[in-house]
Structure 1
Amino acid sequence: MDHNPDLEDRYRHGACYEMAIALHRRLGLPIEVLTAFRGKHDTLPHPAHAWVADPDGCLDAGGRHARDDILDEFLKGRSDRTIQSARITVFPTEADFLAELKRLYNDDTSWTNWYLKHLEREVPKALAVVDSYVVPRYLSEKADPETDMVPDLA
């Protein structure tokens, strides 16, 4: 599978929620979200990145990563005045993840309705990327070369 940095960038820095939902649907792995809490700003907590919890670390459109690497990538370069703290939260289901996003946006009904429509359009696109790009990369790393079988991820 050829490396596609543009595709990875799109689904790691902009459409990571859609990718996390798509990976969750395909692989059944829990969604994890890195949320940054901003200091000295009167803003909401910021979900900085989402992925699925792979037995070997974090899995997103760019493959597997160690949690420390995710923290470095998505929190580095942000001023200490901006990021007061951060946490990683695990969501076993898509519904749990969506409920948290809704809560972070103060249960704003207009935002929720807009975002659900957005997900209806964008998650199928992310699923196509999972099937054509992410899963082949992931499976090629995990498959047993003799049987071409992937071990149980649960």
Structure 2
Amino acid sequence: MSKYIKTKQPFPERLWTQVNKGGDCWLWEGGVNSKGQPYLLYNGRVVTVHRIAYELTYGAIPEQQKVYRTCANRRCLNPSHLRIGNQDDIAKTRSENGNTRNGGPLLCCKNGHAYTEGNIYNLRINGKMYRRCKTCERTRQRRGYQKKKDLRS
């Protein structure tokens, strides 16, 4: 039996079954890339899920336009949070939300956990300060512990 199970479920339903629609932000529960962006294989190529969710909800994306979120959560696929625009529109929205890459604060980690006082710690590496998510760090440590435990048995 193959380890890959093929389903006859249409693509839009397969996409939305991987989304947790429990809150204001609809969180992607599938794979993410190294930047925390949701992605999947679509028509033979790897694409970010935001583009697909936008196209399924609103239709085709015009040439030279990008899909971006109005919220700061990278895993959010709520169609009401998705917009299209150019790079200037994206930069403006990020700066309004305080979610900039150029020195401004990010509001959540790449896995979608909020950066709150109780969920971050600062780490100094080679003289530079970094914020780390405590939830992600606990998960990483548990996996490492479990891996060592499995190796011993």
Give TM-score scaled by structure 2 length.
0.27
Higher share in helix: 1
Larger radius of gyration: 2
TM (normalized to structure 1)?
A: 0.27
